[in-house]
Amino acid sequence: MSKIQMSTPLVEMDGDEMTRIIWKSIKELLLYPYIDLKTEYYDLGLEKRDETHDQITIDAAMATKKYGVAVKCATITPNAQRVKEYNLKQMWKSPNGTIRAILDGTVFRSPIIVKGIKPLIPTWKKPITIARHAYGDIYRNVEHRVEGPGKAELVFTSENGEESRQTIFDFQDKGILMGMHNFDQSIESFARACFNFALDCKQDLWFSTKDTISKKYDHTFKDIFQEIYAQEYQDQFEAANIEYFYTLIDDAVARVIRSEGGYIWALKNYDGDVMSDMVATAFGSLAMMTSVLVSPEGCYEFEAAHGTVTRHYYKHLKGEETSTNPMATLFAWTGALRKRGELDGLNELIEFANKLEAASLQVIEEGVMTKDLALISELTDKKLVSTESFLLEIKQKLEGMLTH
Ligand code: NAP
Ligand code: MG
């Protein structure tokens, strides 16, 4: 069998700890033997980030802009303890934050659904994808602790010196204060990313905020989405037979719980943070959540939603066999390869990605799985395997599919 050829390289961002080990195994067992894998490799492992003063992360993001599709392994976001552990020159910023800022992207997270692992919400049959705005609001806030009586005001001074002034509150005693912002261009990018993504996967798009209470702030989000939809996307949505609708966040929550899934739910930054954890948990496992960053110009960066699984890595270093779930990392690869195939018109590559996904789902549905899934799967006949054995099972299944 000849290997599948690629025409444009994928931007490959390697990472840390357990996921770095899994990354290598996936390539060796499931990709190299079948694809003439073309990648432009960036090592975002913490040592290399430290060595290059984090320039490697910026280079990787720029390469993603150039080529359009990247696949990223989970990486350590250093804290004080990591600075010590790795003897770092400084506490480098989160690579995901850096990449997101350069690509100005929106993050879409979807669960991988398999038979035997039932969502905690019985009506959910299809994935619910959360689209989270990745800029501003409470994440860029300014806060103040009010220590005693006084007047809080919201003052905006325009470039030419004009002032607008509103009283926030007349404090009689101690209290708290917060200022937040967002800007139209970021909201517009968010809206376009959501509309493009919905068209891409032919799913309805829901958007919800608290515009009844926040008549300027949240209402602006609603208005910008509506305007862009009407001007740029309505015709395409109608042609694709999908729907966009806005609804108040309270109403959305009630509808989501009663729904059967199969749509994209767009949310402001904080709402998206909270709801994506809720949805991930209710679907069963963080190890089964995929994540893709989509930029307004249509660049894609695929990754797993979980971290570097440190606890398992320390076991691995002690020579113990681990049963870490490689599914989300594997789906980052298949997502990236399929997207590359779509952009370059390589049907063989698309088919390979589809088969690899199907093979891995089939292995789990036939009862062979890693420990995290064995704990929640309702199948009666389960075989708990190590990461390596699990990948080998997938390989065997894949080979059967490729020769047919
Ligand atoms: P984590 O790596 O997601 O792991 C938390 C726990 O979730 C694990 O200890 C494990 O539970 C379970 N888990 C997560 N993924 C799993 C998988 N694939 N298979 C089986 N179990 C899995 O989060 P963390 O421990 O909070 O963070 C570790 C490092 O990852 C940190 O340095 C953090 O900065 C980084 N991080 C990176 C990203 C990213 O690159 N996107 C995201 C989040 C965190 P048990 O131990 O109970 O088995
Ligand atoms: Mg969170």
Tokens 């691995």, residue? Answer: 316
73 lines ligand 1 (CB under 6 A): no
Q: Is the same domain home to 216 and 151? A: no
Q: What are phi and psi of 402, to 5 degrees?
A: -70, -30
Reading the chain (404 residues) residue by residue, the pLDDT tens digits are 789 999 999 999 999 999 999 999 999 999 999 999 999 999 999 999 999 999 999 999 999 999 999 999 999 999 999 999 999 999 999 999 899 889 888 999 999 999 998 899 999 999 999 999 988 899 889 999 999 999 999 999 999 999 999 999 999 999 999 999 999 999 999 999 999 999 999 999 999 999 999 999 999 999 999 999 999 999 999 999 999 999 999 999 999 999 999 999 999 999 998 898 889 889 888 889 999 999 888 899 999 999 999 999 999 999 999 999 999 999 999 999 999 999 999 999 999 999 999 999 999 999 999 999 999 999 999 999 999 999 999 999 999 999 87
Domain closes at, from 236, 260, 283: 283
Residue whose CA lies nearest to ligand 1 atom number 42: 307
How many domains are contained in the chain? 3
Q: Is the same domain home to 258 and 344? A: no
Write the CA distances from 209 to 215, 220, 263, integer angstroms: 11, 10, 17
Query: Using CA atoms, how far apart are residues 150 and 173, in angstroms rounded to an integer?
Result: 8
- On whether residue 293 sits in a domain, the answer given is no
311 lines ligand 1 (CB under 6 A): yes
Q: Is the same domain home to 277 and 350? A: no
Least Cα distance to 41 among 4, 14, 7, 23 occurs for: 14
- On whether residue 291 sits in a domain, the answer given is no
Domain closes at, from 224, 256, 283: 283
Least Cα distance to 14 among 84, 89, 71, 80 occurs for: 71
Write out the residue range of the structural domain in which residue 148 sits: 142-179
Q: Is the same domain home to 155 and 71? A: no
Q: Is the same domain home to 6 and 59? A: yes
228 lines ligand 1 (CB under 6 A): no
**Burial (0-12, 13-18, 19+ Cβ within 10 Å), 267:** buried
Domain closes at, from 126, 150, 179: 179
Task: Please identify, by atom number, the ligand 1 atom nearest to the C-alpha of residue 77.
Answer: 34
Q: Is the same domain home to 217 and 342? A: no
User: Domain of 260: which CATH number?
Assistant: 3.40.718.10
Q: Is the same domain home to 223 and 355? A: no
Q: Is the same domain home to 278 and 316? A: no
Query: Whole-prediction pTM value?
Result: 0.90
User: Other CB atoms closer than 10 Å to residue 197's CB: what's the count?
Assistant: 21
Q: Reduced to 3 DSSP states, what percent helix, strand and coil does the chain have, rounded to the nearest 5? A: 45, 20, 35
Q: Is the same domain home to 188 and 173? A: no
Q: Is the same domain home to 51 and 71? A: yes
Q: How big is the chain, counted in residues?
A: 404
Pocket test of ligand 1: the residue of 108, 308, 321, 376 to mutate, having most ligand atoms within 8 Å of its CB, is 308
Structure tokens at 110: 């979807």
Query: Using CA atoms, how far apart are residues 208 and 265, in angstroms rounded to an integer?
Result: 8
